[in-house]
Structure 1
C-alpha cells in the first residue's frame, strides 16, 4: 500500500487531521475558495488520466458509505483477496487508491418491529473486526482521524465504521456510548422506514413529525461523545430538527442533489445543502444511478409499476419464480438506464457552485445499490475516473484533495474536539 501521508498533509484542510492526531488545537472554520484550474506552464497537452492516477496515490481517499458487511453477511467472501462478486475487495481498493472506506453497519428497517436490530449490528461489527484481525498487513480499524493517519504511515487501509439506521439503539440512550466504544463513528438516524428516533424520507408515515424526543437526546449524546450525526435517509423535517439540536457540523454520508431528481426526498434540496454547509457540514455524493439521474429513476419506476401489476394480476409475491421470469423478460425488452460518470460529476459541480468545495465528498454506496452503479464508476477501483473527471472540469489538485478526504477529516476533527471540550 502506498504511503501518502506527507503529500496529504500538504493540503490545507488536512492539517486539521494532524491536529486530531496530536489532540491539541481546535480546528478553525475553513474559508470558502474559488474553483481554480491548475495552470500548466507548458505547451504540452495535459494527460488528465496520468494526473488522476498520480493524485489517487498522493492523497487520502475516503468514502463514507460502503455496504461490505451486509454483503458478506448474505454471502461471505474473503475481501482481503480478489472476489468475483461485489464492489469492494482489497486489490481493487488498492488499484483505486481507496484508503478509508467507512464500513456500513446496516440493519434493515423492518427489524425495528420484528426485533433483533442490536444483535444484527453486533454481528456486522464483529465481521469488520475479523476483517482487520485476519489481514493485519492490509486492514486496520480506525476510531479517529489520528488512527486513520497512523494507518497510512503503516500502509494499511483503514476500516472506520458508521451505523446505518439507529434502530439498534433500541430506545436505550446508553447504547449510543456502547456502540461508540465498539467503534461506531457516525449513526444514520433512520433508514427506509420511520423509527423511534426519526422519520424517514422513504416512509409516508411520519409518526415523529421529524425527530422524536428520544432522537433529540441521541443527537445530543452523539455530540457529547464525539460521534458524527448522519442525516441521509431522514425526512426534510427531521433534517432541520437535527440542525437545530446539534452543536457541531453534521454529515449526509450518502446523499445526492435533489436538483437533478425533483420530488425525490431521499436526496437533498438546495436549501438543505445550504443549511448543512452553513453549519459546517458535508454532503457525500451517492453514486447510485437512481440517485443521480432522473432518467434512471423514471426507468426503474416504470419497471416497478409493471412488476406490481403482474403480481397483482397473478396473485404472487416478489419472490415467486414467475416474477423473476417476468423481470428477466422485461429487462431484455427495456434495459435499465444507467447513469454515467458525467452525471455524478454534475452533482459535485452543483454542490460546489452552491456552497463551495469545502462541503462535498464521496459517499458512493458501493455494495449498497446493487447493479445500478453508473458507467465509469462500477467499483472501488474506479476513483481515478472520478478524479480525472474533476481535473477535466478545471478543479485544482488542492480542491480535489478536499473532496477526497480533507472535508471529512475537518468535520470529524471538529466533532472530536467538541467532545473533548465537554
Structure 2
C-alpha cells in the first residue's frame, strides 16, 4: 500500500535577499501524534462492527421494558456513553447475540432476539440526548451531526430466523442490519467454524434461501464465525458485498479457523466487502491463544482449591494470572492485523470490530475499552497511514458496504 507520511514542519530558516535578513512568517506548531490521533477520533465517525452490550446487560439481569443502567455515565464494562465519547465511537453496532444453546428450543432464539432489540430501543428512548437508532449510513451521519451516538443492530447467530424465511424481513423491519449466519454451533443455516461435525458442509439448502433473502431485504451478510466452506459458498452466490463483523487475520493465529485466511481476505475484497478486526488477544496473538488453555486449567485448579471463593475473588485471580503470565496482546498487534490486510488487498477492505463486552478480560494492552480508539489511530499514524486511510478504516469502508446492500435492495 502506498502510505502518505505524516506531515512535519520544515525547520526554521533565515532567508537572505539583497543582503538583508527577512523574517519568515510564523508557522503553526506541529501537533504531536497523540494529539493528532485524538483530534482525528473526534473529527471522523468511528463505527465498530460488534459491541456485546445488550446480552451483557441481559446476563446482569437487565431485561427489555425493565430497568436500564445509567449508560449516560460510566458502567462496568467496555462500552458506555462516557467511554464512547472519550474515544470518539459514534456508530457501534449493537450485537443481538443468540446463544447456540437456544437453538434446540422452538421459538426461544427469536424471542431473545426480540427482547434484546427492544432493550436497544429502550436505551435510545431512556437517553435520547445521548443515543439514537440508525438504519442506514445517512441516519448515522445525521445523528453524528447532532452529537448522538447511533446504535444500529446486527444479529449474532442467524438462529433467530429459526425455520421461517419471512423472519428475514421481520428482523429488517425491527432494525437488524446484518446477520452473522451462525455462532458456536452449526444451525439451520450453515456450519460454524467452531463445530467439528460440519452438518451441511457449508450452507444448508435453507441457508441459501436466507442469504438470497438477506440480499433482497437489505441485510448485510456477516461471515464471522462461519466455516471456511460456508464462506466460499456465500461468496459464490451473494450479489452484494459482505462483512466479517468481528474477525481477525489467520496468518497471526495459524490453525484458528475463526479468523480469516489470506485467500479468504482476497476473495472478500474482490466481493468489495470488509473484514473488521476483532480486538480480543486470542484473535490477535498466537502466544495468547497458546496461553488460553493454560489459563483455563489454572482457573479450574483455583476453584477446586477454593470452593467458596466469591465471584470477585475468582475474577481477581484470573486477571492476575493473565498479567503474571504476559497473556495480553497489545494495540500494536491490532495494527499488525490492519497492516496485513492493507498490504494484501488495500486500505478499502478493512475496518474495526472490537467485540467489546464479548471477549471478557482478554482485551489487549492499551485497547481495553471504547475510550481507547485514539491509541489505535495513534499507532496507525506512527506507521505512516494518512488521514484519508484512517477515515476509511474508521467508517467509510463499512458505510460503503452498508450503502451498497441497502441500495441493491431498493432500501436507500
TM-score normalised by the chain length of structure 2: 0.88
Equivalence for 1:298: 290
Query: CA, structure 1 residues 137+329, in 2 after alignment: closer, same or farther (shift >3 Å)?
Result: closer
CA contact 2:74–2:82 (8 Å) conserved in 1: no
Q: 1:279 aligns with which of 255, 259, 271?
A: 271
Q: 1:99 aligns with which of 69, 76, 90?
A: 90
Equivalence for 1:59: 44
Other structure's SS at 1:365 match:
coil
Other structure's SS at 1:110 match:
helix
Other structure's SS at 1:137 match:
coil
Q: C-alpha displacement at 1:92, in angstroms?
A: 1.1
1:40 paired to 2:8? yes
Query: CA, structure 1 residues 329+385, in 2 after alignment: closer, same or farther (shift >3 Å)?
Result: closer
Equivalence for 2:19: none
Matches within 5 A, 1:355-370: 355-370=345-360
Equivalence for 2:14: none
Other structure's SS at 2:100 match:
coil
| Inter-partner Cα distance in structure 2 for 1:360 and 1:180 | 25
| Higher deviation after alignment, 320-329 or 101-110 | 320-329
| Higher deviation after alignment, 404-413 or 72-81 | 72-81
Equivalence for 2:281: 289
Query: CA, structure 1 residues 153+327, in 2 after alignment: closer, same or farther (shift >3 Å)?
Result: closer
| Inter-partner Cα distance in structure 1 for 2:278 and 2:308 | 32
> How many corresponding residue pairs?
385
Query: CA, structure 1 residues 266+387, in 2 after alignment: closer, same or farther (shift >3 Å)?
Result: same
Matches within 5 A, 1:73-112: 73-75=58-60, 76=62, 78-112=69-103
CA RMSD of aligned residues (A): 2.4
Matches within 5 A, 1:380-419: 380-419=370-409
CA contact 2:155–2:179 (8 Å) conserved in 1: yes
Q: Report Cα offsets for 1:267-321 as digits up to 9, x if no partner.
A: 000110001001100000000011101111111122335667899xx8x9xx975
Q: 1:49 aligns with which of 12, 34, 57?
A: 34
Q: C-alpha displacement at 1:137, in angstroms?
A: 1.1
Q: 2:341 aligns with which of 346, 351, 363?
A: 351
CA contact 1:160–1:185 (8 Å) conserved in 2: yes
Other structure's SS at 1:102 match:
strand
TM-score normalised by the chain length of structure 1: 0.86
| Inter-partner Cα distance in structure 1 for 2:191 and 2:302 | 31
Structure with higher Rg: it is: 2
Query: CA, structure 1 residues 308+143, in 2 after alignment: closer, same or farther (shift >3 Å)?
Result: same
| Inter-partner Cα distance in structure 2 for 1:401 and 1:54 | 12
Matches within 5 A, 1:88-167: 88-115=79-106, 116-167=108-159
Q: 1:256 aligns with which of 248, 263, 271?
A: 248
Other structure's SS at 1:420 match:
coil
Equivalence for 2:65: none
